[in-house]
Structure 1
Amino acid sequence: MPYFDVHETHTGVVILAGDRAYKAKKPVLTDFLDFRLPQQREHACRREVELNSRLSPDSYLGVAHLTDPLGGPSEPVVVMRRYRDEDRLAHLVTHDTAESVHRVLDAVAAVLARFHERAERGERINAQGEPAAIEWRWRENLSELERYAAESIPGVSADDVAQLQRLVTQFVAGRAGLFARRIRDGRIVDGHGDLLADDIFWVGGSPALLDCLEFDDRLRHVDCIDDAAFLAMDLEFLGRKDFGDYFLQRYTEHAGWAAPPSLSDFYIAYRAAVRAKVDCVRVSQGSPGASDDAARHLGIATRHLQSGTVRLALVGGNPGTGKSTVARGLAESFGAQVISTDDVRRELRDSGTIAGEPGVLNAGLYSPDQVAMVYETALRRARQLLGEGHSVILDGTWRDPRTRDRAHRLAAETHSALVEFVCSATADVA
């Protein structure tokens, strides 16, 4: 590698010299940081060393000052160990074998899971996991993207941003139970906040995770899966969605818990929107090619919000028409949970809640009152699952239009997309 090299980002300059890297902050003001004053840049440098020492203490060596030989003010810089470009994860995912990359991603997932396990928690941090705080972060990003769309940056349209806003509003509005559970389970932490493949190095058989977010604590106080989703998104942006999926799978296995797929999609979309905004900043600073990156990031955000839409599917039809088979197939295709009225009826009968002879329409176990209790129980369970981010398939006959109306209201109240299927079969098949 060359002895000297210089790299520039939208907020800083990195000077590479020998086995050291020197990071200086640009004196800039953006919608998310203010580095205009020397003391602001000094504070940011010291905070960067302090925070990154949590994950990579051997990589951050301290803060130094570059002196102006003409007598001007000195400039604070972060001093780091220099690593080879070919050891970057971003390089490895496009040049190494899948087996080798899996080994690296598994190690990164283990390091991140251990970091999250011991990360700081508390009421101040939990506040950033509340729906209002999550909406605020989205709103800040989308408002900036709207502004860039108004400035006619290629690849960023007002319609695209409006679609993102609709999908975000729909998800957050119906998921109070999910966000409350994430806080209750201790999943909101003082995390990394900016986990990109360009800032992860494979050094001596171990990963070094660099460059956490230091300029706004609120943006670093995140759900664990949000932190991990940033890297999954970036791997997808690099053309390897399969690596992103593998990383999230290994992260949740190391962490010992799993999040609903809809939440992973939601946060992957959020991180893609964040990067789209950064791309627009780069365009405004004189890098027109970054508009293509913005368009690709917006595409990732849209796809994942659509994929993560919470759905309520009603699969109905007479007995013997194959509705249970259809319900199971749908569940496998989009990761939904099936609630079968037959299963609910058996549970209620075994618990003594309902009773009567089976097999007779409008009598015994199938009397109107007992059928209503079965469907009310199924809808109540569905409400909880939908609120916690799980798509649900309700498998039943759905003969009673009043019961279907209650299911329609449930979908509206939980801001879930409603899909209805009616299964039928000829008499000789059924």
Structure 2
Amino acid sequence: MYPDYVHALLSKDIYIENVDDILLEQTHLSYVFINDIYVYKIKKSVDFDFVKQSKLSQRKKFCLQEIEQNKRLAPKVYIKVVKIVLNIKSQYAIREGKIFKGDKIVEYAVKMHRLDLNNNLETILKNNNLPENFSKIFVDKIFSFHQKAVKFSGSKKTGGYLAEKNWCIDEMKQQKNHINFTISESLLKKITAYLNNFLLKNQAVFDLRLKEKNIIFGHGDLQIKHVYLENFFKSSKITVDDLLVIDCIEFSNLFHFKFIDKGYDIAFLTMGMDYSHNPQIADEICGHYVALTGDKYFGILHNYHKILRALIRAKVEGIAAKSDIIDKLARKKYKQQSKIFFQLVKKYIEIPSDPLVIVVGGFSASGKSTFAGALASRLGAAYVSSDVIRKKMFNVDIHHRPSKSITQKMYNSNVTVQVYSKLLKEASMLMKQNFSVVIDAAYLLKSERDITNQFIQESSLPSFFLWLDASENVINSRVKARTSTQLKISDANIGIINKQFKSFEKINENEKIYIINNNKTMRNSFLQVSKISKLLRDKIIF
């Protein structure tokens, strides 16, 4: 079943280092040999619709690319490409440098340091051991990675709506191979219809993502099992340096593989969280990412992106389930996993798509922007933020802290009136396009709330005004935590928040505003919102 070199690499004698144990794992693309110190990853000689690596030269190229590209998010893990040779005595050997006389190169392998599986995110989730600040740190790391990433330079045809549409057409053709194996024909037709309708409605959004440089050279395979947390046992919190992400896509430069939407990169992990029954972590990640980026369209695309990610996993597991180079027990496991991923897609497409509008108000550091971003991601909604609008009015980069004099101008009462006016105008434009919208602003004054309440009640959409409440102690602790990072949009500090406390006009019973206690977890706040109406419950509780 296995090539001869696989048996050879299961022998301790072939390794340069002292080895006690060797574990063989495999994917549809690779054989992975794990010893006490190092891991050796060899590409399989296979051709699939999404990767061609049946030639040794192709496999060498992909090994070299794997080393280079994974240094971006796991610089200390990947070491070098080594050669697997058949020597003059017809024995297999590993060569780290030059080959010897009489050697014949049989394969190439990526050599990397062995990581502790106890530090793998999959293991940590199973043990219910996730550090309390994981979502925030993960977003900080990926945001920084995305900011530095190479931007896609292609046209609309190769990276906009047309490219997205053609990719989906091709993907759904491939999925037909799994009909009556891991998916029914009727479900596949429903999924195809959903995607076609979504693509048609959002043509302009896909082209805008390209125009606004949101298509980047991403990770491409941000699965839960590819994330490791070093040193997390030493503390209930981790740092950005503790987080490693391995195994990016190296085998294709095409759109939707290496070059992807930033949100599509994030969606692999959030889909994985939904799959592994951790939707609250998915919500936290989305909330932090939207609050940090101010990304208006992330939420609109997020469910669609998760559907595509789940479809890819269903396809890949289905391919493995049919492979004749994988043992029967493993094939059975892959088949079951493929079915589960298809059922996850079914669950996604059944989420009600009726448009609505939600307003989220609250003091700075109450968690309102993170909460609003998470809501937008579950609702499939656009996100409009007063902080983003205010900074754009003054041509200030959203992550730049302006000088004291500019800050005073930005936050005077006349400017705030203009900000709230622009906020509603932007929301109105999105609502006219039949998008759900989440509006994020402080709403400290009754006059601001009254104008907005009137605006949403006059719309034809279901609407809800939420006030995110948090105690002063909780707010103060959150704003102190903010000062440790420069990655933020809000300029609020303790002084500004104290001014907010003084100027706040309390909400009265006649204002038709739902008070949500946000002192605890986001999941707790989501559950409170879900009790407001069945529509909200069906949309946000996964």
When the two structures are superposed, what TM-score results if normalisation uses the length of structure 2? 0.57
8 Å Cα contact 1:6/1:16 also seen in 2:
yes
User: Equivalent of 1:390, from 431, 436, 440?
Assistant: 436
Question: Post-superposition shift, 1:189?
Answer: 0.8
8 Å Cα contact 2:31/2:44 also seen in 1:
yes
User: Equivalent of 1:276, from 314, 317, 320?
Assistant: 314
- Whether 2:244 is the aligned partner of 1:214: answer no
User: Equivalent of 1:289, from 307, 327, 333?
Assistant: 333
Q: Partners in 2 of 1:203 and 1:252 — Cα distance?
A: 26
User: Equivalent of 1:251, from 266, 289, 304?
Assistant: 289
- Whether 2:119 is the aligned partner of 1:119: answer no
**CA distance 1:128–1:226, change in 2 (3 Å):** farther
- Whether 2:79 is the aligned partner of 1:61: answer yes
Other-structure match for 2:111 = 79
Question: Post-superposition shift, 1:128?
Answer: 5.0
Other-structure match for 1:187 = 214
Q: Partners in 2 of 1:164 and 1:263 — Cα distance?
A: 16
| 1:95 alignment partner AA | N
SS of match in other structure, 2:45 = coil
Q: Partners in 1 of 2:117 and 2:291 — Cα distance?
A: 29
| 1:59 alignment partner AA | V
SS of match in other structure, 2:332 = coil
SS of match in other structure, 2:47 = coil
| 1:140 alignment partner AA | D
| 1:179 alignment partner AA | F
1:13-412 to structure 2, matched below 5 A, reads 13-69=31-87, 70=90, 73-98=105-130, 100=131, 102-124=132-154, 129-149=159-179, 152-153=180-181, 155-204=182-231, 205=238, 206-218=242-254, 219-285=257-323, 286=326, 287-307=331-351, 309=353, 311=355, 334=379, 384-385=430-431, 387=433, 389-390=435-436
| 1:74 alignment partner AA | V
SS of match in other structure, 1:307 = coil
Q: Partners in 2 of 1:58 and 1:379 — Cα distance?
A: 49
Question: Post-superposition shift, 1:178?
Answer: 1.6
Q: Partners in 2 of 1:294 and 1:42 — Cα distance?
A: 30
Question: Post-superposition shift, 1:127?
Answer: 5.7
Q: Partners in 2 of 1:165 and 1:238 — Cα distance?
A: 25
Q: Partners in 2 of 1:65 and 1:50 — Cα distance?
A: 17
Q: Partners in 2 of 1:117 and 1:66 — Cα distance?
A: 38
8 Å Cα contact 1:265/1:307 also seen in 2:
no
| 1:303 alignment partner AA | K
CA offset digits 1:133-184 (Å, max 9, x no partner): 11222222221111221xx31x311111111110111011111222233223
8 Å Cα contact 1:89/1:201 also seen in 2:
yes
| 2:117 alignment partner AA | D
SS of match in other structure, 1:79 = strand
Question: Post-superposition shift, 1:255?
Answer: 3.3
Q: Partners in 2 of 1:381 and 1:106 — Cα distance?
A: 27
CA offset digits 1:114-133 (Å, max 9, x no partner): 00011111422876541111
Question: Post-superposition shift, 1:305?
Answer: 3.3
| 2:300 alignment partner AA | S
SS of match in other structure, 1:74 = strand
Q: Partners in 2 of 1:140 and 1:117 — Cα distance?
A: 30
Other-structure match for 1:343 = none
RMSD (Å) for aligned C-alpha atoms: 3.2
8 Å Cα contact 2:62/2:251 also seen in 1:
yes
Identity of matched residues, %:
19
Question: Post-superposition shift, 1:240?
Answer: 1.2
CA offset digits 1:227-280 (Å, max 9, x no partner): 001100011111212212222222333434353523111101110011010111
**CA distance 1:3–1:59, change in 2 (3 Å):** same
**CA distance 1:197–1:125, change in 2 (3 Å):** farther
Q: Partners in 1 of 2:48 and 2:289 — Cα distance?
A: 33
Higher relative contact order (CA 8 A, sep 6+): 1
**CA distance 1:128–1:81, change in 2 (3 Å):** farther
8 Å Cα contact 1:56/1:208 also seen in 2:
yes
8 Å Cα contact 2:300/2:380 also seen in 1:
no
CA offset digits 1:356-402 (Å, max 9, x no partner): xxxxxxxxxxxxxxxxxxxxxx999867546585369986599xxxx
Q: Partners in 2 of 1:384 and 1:172 — Cα distance?
A: 17
Mean Cα deviation higher: 286-295 or 74-83: 286-295
8 Å Cα contact 1:179/1:388 also seen in 2:
no
SS of match in other structure, 1:186 = coil
Other-structure match for 1:356 = none
CA offset digits 1:314-341 (Å, max 9, x no partner): xxxxxxxxxxxxxxxxx9995768xxxx
Which segments of 5 or more consecutive residues in structure 1 lack a partner in the other structure? 314-330, 338-377, 399-430
| 2:348 alignment partner AA | H
Question: Post-superposition shift, 1:311?
Answer: 3.7
Q: Partners in 1 of 2:380 and 2:248 — Cα distance?
A: 32
| 1:249 alignment partner AA | G
SS of match in other structure, 1:7 = strand
| 1:28 alignment partner AA | V
When the two structures are superposed, what TM-score results if normalisation uses the length of structure 1? 0.71
**CA distance 1:182–1:336, change in 2 (3 Å):** closer
Instruction: Report how many residues are paired.
Output: 337
8 Å Cα contact 2:40/2:112 also seen in 1:
yes
Question: Post-superposition shift, 1:17?
Answer: 1.8
Q: Partners in 2 of 1:20 and 1:397 — Cα distance?
A: 61
CA offset digits 1:39-72 (Å, max 9, x no partner): 0100111111111112222111121111234265
Mean Cα deviation higher: 253-262 or 56-65: 253-262
